[in-house]
């Protein structure tokens, strides 16, 4: 007989009611702001075929022969600029978000629901967190990638990691996945309220730039819906904030390599706006649920320097939703919607 490769994890019981769990998944982070720690993180991230769609043999040569010899030191320097006494901002912020959602759902639901956090690259991994949830008796699992807009490079990769884990389990949990929430009404309201609250405290700039993470243009040409979903999020925010297309502008950041990525590019856009006479520019990044390297260093530091160097006076970064009350409420509502039939809201129980 062939050897059994399926894994059985304690926690399941036919005598127990099915327990529900929520797995939040964010991108990931190195363990420390050093080249030594960044190198394995980048190797895992850039080695994902969902992220880089090149022939594997060619990309392996480029990645290991060039990129991983140069980029870890540069990335480590960038991480060091934002690292805190608590550690990686993305890790700390994501953990606070998971803790807040656990408490929020505990208030909203009549039965217990377990919330866990995984990182697509680095630790804790998707595999270890799903296995831990199963050991805790979770038999119904909602996976919520913390990417509002779907891309094969982000949410698609999370789905791959979940599938790779489940296909090795003898008794996989019942599964639901949030594909995206780019136009979810609660999420759009949370973004709008967050921006308005920031404006009420700091004043309003002359224009608002929404900077989304970029992807290669050929991915969109091949069918990735990311560009359209980013534009949809932006248009919904224009409506909620009462801004025109000239007052709220969209751009795309973080491009690498020589091939065309989604345009307009953020660095070129902030320089153009400064040269056109804009003195105070506000920037928000609604593709990021939690602040990270791309928001705190690339936008708030690098692009601020680009803007000022081109003649602007101040680029003000509006923080991500993080574990704000708006984000906790909107994501809790999203979770309840996607776990309909699994979880009973406390209000519904009181009504009956």
For residue 269, what is the domain's CATH number? 3.40.50.1400
Residues 224 and 143 placed together within one structural domain of the fold: no
pLDDT at residue 111, as a whole number: 87
Residues 254 and 307 placed together within one structural domain of the fold: yes
Which residue carries 């660095």 as its tokens? 267
Q: Is 274 helix (H, G, I), strand (E, B) or coil?
A: helix
The answer to whether the CB of 298 falls within 8 A of the CB of 254 is yes
Q: Using 50, 70 and 90 to split pLDDT, how confident is the model at 2?
A: very low
Residues 278 and 304 placed together within one structural domain of the fold: yes
Q: What domain range is 234 assigned to?
A: 185-317
CA-CA distance, 90 to 298, in Å (whole number)?
Answer: 14
Is there a domain that residue 83 lies in?
A: no
pLDDT mean over 133-157: 97
pLDDT at residue 17, as a whole number: 61
Residues 138 and 205 placed together within one structural domain of the fold: no
pLDDT at residue 117, as a whole number: 98
Lowest mean pLDDT among 9-13, 127-131, 304-308: 9-13
Q: Using 50, 70 and 90 to split pLDDT, how confident is the model at 186?
A: very high
pLDDT mean over 302-318: 98
Residues 160 and 306 placed together within one structural domain of the fold: no
Residues 227 and 341 placed together within one structural domain of the fold: no
Ordered strands of the 19-28 beta sheet? 113-121, 19-28, 138-145, 174-177
The radius of gyration computed from the CA coordinates of the chain, to the nearest angstrom, equals 21
Residues 254 and 169 placed together within one structural domain of the fold: no
Residues 190 and 107 placed together within one structural domain of the fold: no
Residues 23 and 169 placed together within one structural domain of the fold: yes
Share of the chain above pLDDT 90, in %: 90
Here the tokens at position 172 are 């996989």
As annotated, the binding site includes 213, 294
Residues 214 and 274 placed together within one structural domain of the fold: yes
Is there a domain that residue 305 lies in?
A: yes
As annotated, the binding site for Fe(2+) includes 213, 294
Is there a domain that residue 6 lies in?
A: no
Q: Is 110 helix (H, G, I), strand (E, B) or coil?
A: coil
Checking if the pLDDT of 16 tops 80, the result is: no
Helix pair angle (35-46, 68-82), 10° resolution = 110
pLDDT at residue 352, as a whole number: 42
- Using a 10 angstrom Cβ sphere, with 0-12 exposed, 13-18 middle and 19 or more buried, the burial of residue 62 is middle
Is there a domain that residue 67 lies in?
A: no
pLDDT at residue 11, as a whole number: 57
Checking if the pLDDT of 10 tops 80, the result is: no
Residues 153 and 25 placed together within one structural domain of the fold: yes
User: Cis link prior to 264 (omega < 30° from 0)?
Assistant: yes
Which residue carries 């534009």 as its tokens? 231
Element (H, E) at 234: helix 226-241
Compute φ and ψ for 212, nearest 5 degrees: -100, 155
Checking if the pLDDT of 194 tops 70, the result is: yes
Higher pLDDT among residues 12 and 275, named by residue = 275
Residues 291 and 201 placed together within one structural domain of the fold: yes
Share of the chain above pLDDT 70, in %: 95
Is there a domain that residue 4 lies in?
A: no
Higher pLDDT among residues 346 and 277, named by residue = 277
Here the tokens at position 38 are 């960044």
pLDDT at residue 351, as a whole number: 44
Is there a domain that residue 147 lies in?
A: yes
Is there a domain that residue 140 lies in?
A: yes
Checking if the pLDDT of 264 tops 60, the result is: yes
CA-CA distance, 204 to 282, in Å (whole number)?
Answer: 8
pLDDT at residue 14, as a whole number: 53
Is there a domain that residue 231 lies in?
A: yes
The total domain count for the chain is 2
Predicted model pTM: 0.94
pLDDT mean across residues, the chain:
94
């Amino acid at each position: 007989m062939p050897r059994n490769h399926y894994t059985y994890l304690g926690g399941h019981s036919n005598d127990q009611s099915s327990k529900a769990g929520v797995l939040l998944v964010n991108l990931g982070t190195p363990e420390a702001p050093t080249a030594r720690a960044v190198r394995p993180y980048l190797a895992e991230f850039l080695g994902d075929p969902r992220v880089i769609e090149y022939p594997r043999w060619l990309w392996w040569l480029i990645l290991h022969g060039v990129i991983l010899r140069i980029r870890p030191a540069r990335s480590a320097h960038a991480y060091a600029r934002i690292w805190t006494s608590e550690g990686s901002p993305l890790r700390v912020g994501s953990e606070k978000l998971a803790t807040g959602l656990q408490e929020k759902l505990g208030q909203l639901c009549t039965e217990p629901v377990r919330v866990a956090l995984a990182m697509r690259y680095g630790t804790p991994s998707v595999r270890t967190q799903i296995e831990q949830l199963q050991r805790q008796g979770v038999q119904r699992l909602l996976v919520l990638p913390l990417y509002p807009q779907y891309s094969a490079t982000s949410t698609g990769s999370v789905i791959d990691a979940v599938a790779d884990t489940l296909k090795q389990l003898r008794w996989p949990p019942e599964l639901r996945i949030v594909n995206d929430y780019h136009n979810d009404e609660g999420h759009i309201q949370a973004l709008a309220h967050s921006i308005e609250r920031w404006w009420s405290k700091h004043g309003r700039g002359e224009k608002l730039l929404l900077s989304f993470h970029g992807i290669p243009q050929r991915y969109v040409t091949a069918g990735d819906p990311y560009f359209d979903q980013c534009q949809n999020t932006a248009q919904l925010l224009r409506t909620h904030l009462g801004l025109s297309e000239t007052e709220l502008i969209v751009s795309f950041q973080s491009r690498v390599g020589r091939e065309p990525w989604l345009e307009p590019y953020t660095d070129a856009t902030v320089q153009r706006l400064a040269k056109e006479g804009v003195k105070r520019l506000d920037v928000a990044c609604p593709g990021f649920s939690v602040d990270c390297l791309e928001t705190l260093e690339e936008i708030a530091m690098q692009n601020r320097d680009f803007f000022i160097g081109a003649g602007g006076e101040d680029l003000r970064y509006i923080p991500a939703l993080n574990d704000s009350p708006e984000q906790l409420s909107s994501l809790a509502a999203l979770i309840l919607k996607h776990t309909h039939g699994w979880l009973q809201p406390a209000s519904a129980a009181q009504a009956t």
